[in-house]
Amino acid sequence: MAKTMAKTFTKKDRYQMVTDMVIDLMDKHGSNWTKPWQASAGNSHHNVVSGKPYQGTNIFMTAISSYKNEFKSNQWATYKQWEKLGATVRKGSKGTDIVFFDKVMITDKITEEQAMVPLLKGFSIFNADQVDGFDAKPVEEQPAIAFNHHDTEKLVSDTGAIIKHGGGKAFYAPQPDFIQMPEKADFKGTKDSTPEQSYYGTLLHELCHWTGHKTRLDRKLIGRFGSNAYAFEELVAETGSAFLAAMLGLEKEPTPDHAKYLNNWLEVLKSDKRAMMKAFGQAQKAADFILASQAQAIAAE
């Protein structure tokens, strides 16, 4: 009786299989991607007076400042706001710059017509760890989460990437070189992905951005939100995440969530299929770099 030979798939074969699946899903699904987490309001960086979480660029500014200065509190206020609360900003403390859009009424000198126009204002804020005379509210402890995908946790740990948790945004900050993630408990998943798949898929996405640092694969990571450069990097990171998720067994195959996210950014590039294929190539390099980082870490153990 003739023996059947099991086919051995190389890493290149796996990349091609996932690529084919992703392209097929992109043809079938639109770009109505849904964010798979809902941030815990109490754990977001927020103004201590209004209680409102910071939004947009200010999320990045407060997170990066907290990382650099090792702040433990997520409560912030301006110098004058701290004074009104009876607290004193310590001498020599450096403020964190944030921006705020306000509206002002202007009058046209010729027509005398009035109109409301947006005005960008800048402020310096100080963390509760920088003041005296105020009892900072402790950051809420998150409940224990059941999911803990060993192979993915090991891969991420072996890369040596710095991962921080908290707040309502997932992002990679190139200049301080760290990844910010919402808490595991904040991931609710989608109709196509479990909370576990959503969390690790997001983490792997940011890890692929991490590979683009100038000391690693040196991709262009600085680009205005919505620009072609930004969109292309998002294609690279999400495709790399799909590659790694399949290799790690997080997903049996790419999900519609990957396709919707990719289609969302491909629209910025005006559905340029050549850009998509170039992104696939860069995503392979990102995944290879991450896997090689783990291999080096294991060899050094």
Among residues 97, 99, 90, the alpha carbon closest in space to that of 125 is found at: 97
Residues 157 and 288 reside in one and the same domain: yes
Residues 199 and 296 reside in one and the same domain: yes
pLDDT tens digits, one per residue of 99-134: 877 777 778 778 878 877 777 778 899 999 999 999
Give residue 8's pLDDT.
Answer: 47
Which stretches of the chain score pLDDT less than 50? Answer: 1-9
Tell me 187's DSSP state. B
Give residue 7's pLDDT.
Answer: 44
Residues 28 and 153 reside in one and the same domain: yes
Residue 234: give the domain boundaries: 11-38+143-300
Give residue 10's pLDDT.
Answer: 65
How many structural domains are present in the chain?
2
* End residue of a domain, out of 108, 132, 156: 132
Residues 172 and 271 reside in one and the same domain: yes
Residues 249 and 184 reside in one and the same domain: yes
Residues 82 and 186 reside in one and the same domain: no
pLDDT tens digits, one per residue of 230-248: 999 999 999 999 999 988 9
CB 183 within 8 A of CB 43: yes
- CA dist 283 and 41 (Å) reads 34
Residues 151 and 121 reside in one and the same domain: no
- CA dist 217 and 203 (Å) reads 18
* End residue of a domain, out of 78, 101, 132: 132
CB-based contacts of 20, cutoff 8 Å, min separation 6: none
| Within a domain: 191 | yes
Residues 51 and 76 reside in one and the same domain: yes
For strand 163-165 and strand 131-132, is the pairing parallel, antiparallel, or unpaired? Answer: unpaired
Give residue 79's pLDDT.
Answer: 96
pTM metric for this prediction: 0.78
Give residue 35's pLDDT.
Answer: 78
CB-based contacts of 242, cutoff 8 Å, min separation 6: 18, 22, 251, 254, 258, 283
Residues 186 and 279 reside in one and the same domain: yes
| Within a domain: 242 | yes
- Look up residue 127 and give its two tokens: 């963390």
Residues 187 and 98 reside in one and the same domain: no
Give residue 6's pLDDT.
Answer: 43
| Within a domain: 248 | yes
* End residue of a domain, out of 112, 132, 152: 132
